[in-house]
Amino acid sequence: MKINRIKDNDIANGFGITMSIWTQGCPHHCKGCFNGETWSFEDGTEFTKDDLYYILDNINKHGIKRDLSILGGEPLCPENIDGVINLSKTFKEKYPEKKIYLWTGYVVEEFNEIQKKVFEYVDILVDGKFEQGKKKLSLTMRGSSNQRVIDVKKSIEKNKLILLDIDNK
Ligand code: SF4
C-alpha cells in the first residue's frame, strides 16, 4: 500500500474531525478529478509500521476526538487493499468506538471477495467514480450525485443497502 499523505485534522471528510489518509494510485482516472496527484502508482511513499503507529498514537492528540477517513487515490485497488484492510482492522481493534470512513471509485455491488472484507471495519462508505456530468457542489462528502454515502453497519444489519440521506434530497 502506498500513501500520498496523512492529515491530522480534517473537517472536510467525515462528520466532525477526522485524521485522514490519502492512498496513492488510482486506476479510475475520472474526468474532472480534483486529486490527480494521487493517480500514479510510482509516486507516494510506502505505508510503514511507523505510519500505522503514528495514526494509532495520535488519533486523540491534544485531547481532540477524531475518527479515521481513508481516501484516495483508490484505497480498494489491488495495490492498496491489503494495507487498507490491515490498517482498518488494527484501528478498530484499538478503537472500536471510533468511526472509519472510506471513499472508493468502485461500487459495492461489484466488490470482489477481498474488497468485501472492508465491510467488517468501515462504518461509512462512499462509493462510485466522480462523474463530471453529475457534479454538484452542494453535496456533502462527495462530488457527484451518482456517488452514494452508505451506512455499512445498518446495511449489514438490515441485509440491504442503507444510504445516509445527508443532503435531504
Ligand atoms: S476515483 Fe477518486 S481519485 Fe480516482 S480518479 Fe476518480 S475522483 Fe480521482
> Is 169 within the bounds of a domain?
no
What are the C-alpha distances in Å from 137 to residues 3, 36, 42, 144?
26, 18, 31, 8
Q: Is 14 in the pocket of ligand 1 (CB under 6 A)?
A: no
pLDDT tens-digit readout, 4-38: 999 999 999 999 999 999 999 999 999 999 999 99
The pTM of the full predicted model, rounded to 2 decimals, is 0.96
Q: Ligand 1 centroid to 69 CA: how many Å?
A: 15
Give the pairing of strands 124-127 and 148-151.
Answer: antiparallel
Q: Is 155 in the pocket of ligand 1 (CB under 6 A)?
A: no
pLDDT tens-digit readout, 103-161: 999 999 999 999 999 999 999 999 999 999 999 999 999 999 999 999 999 999 999 99
Ligand 1 atom having least distance to the Cα of 104: 1
* CATH code, domain with 119: 3.20.20.70
> Cα separation of 28 and 50, whole Å?
29
> Is 165 within the bounds of a domain?
no
> Is 93 within the bounds of a domain?
yes
> Is 125 within the bounds of a domain?
yes
> Is 163 within the bounds of a domain?
no
Nearest by Cα to 151 from 165, 166, 162: 162
The total of structural domains in the chain comes to 1
- Write out the residue range of the structural domain in which residue 140 sits: 2-158
Q: Is 135 in the pocket of ligand 1 (CB under 6 A)?
A: no
> Is 168 within the bounds of a domain?
no
Residues of 57-66 as b/e, b for ≥16 C-beta within 10 angstroms?
eebeeeeeeb
